Structure 1
């Protein structure tokens, strides 16, 4: 299965990397990696979303927006 990704972008101290991948049903699944820290102190969270999208672009947009929202909320906490 082919994966599509957008270039990672920063939100404060977080690096957000959206990803979409074709699922078994023929749609596209969205996921996002949110990384913080450096070197041995790096921490990476990966979120996978249950919604299926008709296009990889739609899945990427969803992953990017959800990653941005998560990082913004984490910075405010």
Structure 2
């Protein structure tokens, strides 16, 4: 069975990668952060933290963001 590192640095790296994927998709679609967080019904600060990779987003929130961006949630998680 795989083991996790003793620290949570791997989690922070994953959060940043998810945020980067969201930002890249949003920019490719020529959308603003505001258009995405309003359509996804996510608070501005929450969305900004997710995209910046500083928040550990809930699955439901990621699913709403993915839906608004027209991608599957796995595209955000595994890019």
TM-score by structure 1 length? 0.31
TM-score by structure 2 length? 0.30
Q: Which has the higher helix share?
A: 2
Q: Which has the higher strand share?
A: 1
